[in-house]
C-alpha cells in the first residue's frame, strides 16, 4: 500500500512539473474549490444526490464538480455559494452601497 502511495505521489510531481506555473495555480484553485464544496456538504450532512437535487443537476455533474478538475462559471459558483451558505469567490456583499 505504501508503495502505491509513493508511486502516486511521484506521478503527481511529474504531472505538475510538466505544466506551467499558471496551470499549476489554476489546478490548485480548482481542487481547493472542490474541497470547500465537499467540506460544506459534509458539514450540512448532505449527500451528493441531495445536493444535486437542490442544485437542479444530475449527480454526475456534482461528481465532476467534486473531482477538482471542473472549470466553474461565476454563475455556478454563485449558485453553489447560495445553496451551501459558503463563500467561494472571496467577494464581500453587497458590492454597491446605497447612497
Q: Give the CATH number for residue 36.
A: 1.10.260
For 42-68, how does the pLDDT look when each residue is reduced to its tens digit (9 = 90+)? Answer: 999 999 999 999 999 999 999 999 999
The domain tally of the chain equals 1
Residue 41 resides in a domain: yes
> Could you tell me if 89 and 81 are in contact, meaning their C-beta atoms sit under 8 angstroms apart?
yes
Residue 80 resides in a domain: yes
Q: Which domain holds residue 38?
A: 21-84
For 12-25, how does the pLDDT look when each residue is reduced to its tens digit (9 = 90+)? Answer: 778 778 889 898 88
Residue 3 main-chain phi, psi, to 5 deg = -65, -40
30: exposed, middle or buried (Cβ count in 10 Å: 0-12, 13-18, 19+): middle
pLDDT value of position 41: 98
C-alpha grid cell for residue 86?
Answer: 459558503
22: exposed, middle or buried (Cβ count in 10 Å: 0-12, 13-18, 19+): exposed
Residue 98 resides in a domain: no
Amino acid at each position: 500500500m505504501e508503495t502505491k502511495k509513493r508511486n502516486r505521489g511521484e506521478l503527481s510531481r511529474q504531472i505538475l512539473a510538466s505544466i506551467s506555473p499558471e496551470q499549476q495555480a489554476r489546478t490548485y484553485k480548482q481542487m481547493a474549490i472542490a474541497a470547500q464544496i465537499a467540506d460544506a456538504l459534509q458539514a450540512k450532512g448532505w449527500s451528493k444526490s441531495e445536493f444535486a437535487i437542490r442544485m437542479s443537476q444530475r449527480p454526475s455533474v456534482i461528481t465532476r464538480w467534486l473531482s477538482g478538475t471542473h472549470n466553474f462559471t461565476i454563475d455556478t459558483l454563485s449558485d453553489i455559494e447560495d445553496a451551501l451558505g459558503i463563500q467561494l469567490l472571496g467577494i464581500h456583499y453587497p458590492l454597491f452601497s446605497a447612497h
